[in-house]
């Protein structure tokens, strides 16, 4: 399953080059529009950490992809 998202700053502007790391997996970076895509298994919970120079890292725990849902 694919999880897609967009990283924005406090002014609602897209952030390019943000590292999006999943526990036990890769760490793609956001594109120029702040978008990212992760391939995750449905029904499993993940910890996702967003980090970029000049910003404090942000970790989301318990992220889960549910089959058949957006």
Token digits of residue 14: 């897209």
pLDDT tens digits, one per residue of 18-68:
999 998 777 789 999 999 998 888 888 899 999 999 999 999 999 888 887
Task: Provide the pairing of β-strand 19-22 with 45-51.
Answer: antiparallel
> Is residue 70 over pLDDT 70?
no
- Separation between Cα atoms, residue 14 and residue 26, nearest integer Å: 21
The C-alpha atoms of residue 51 and residue 49 are separated, in whole angstroms, by 6
Q: What is the pLDDT of residue 5?
A: 92
């Amino acid at each position: 399953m694919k999880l897609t998202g967009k990283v924005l700053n406090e002014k609602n502007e897209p952030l390019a080059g943000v590292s999006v790391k999943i526990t036990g997996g890769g760490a793609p970076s956001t594109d120029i529009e702040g978008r990212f895509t992760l391939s995750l298994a449905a029904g499993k919970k993940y910890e996702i950490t967003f980090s970029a120079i000049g910003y404090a890292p942000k970790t989301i725990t318990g992220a889960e992809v549910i089959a058949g849902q957006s």
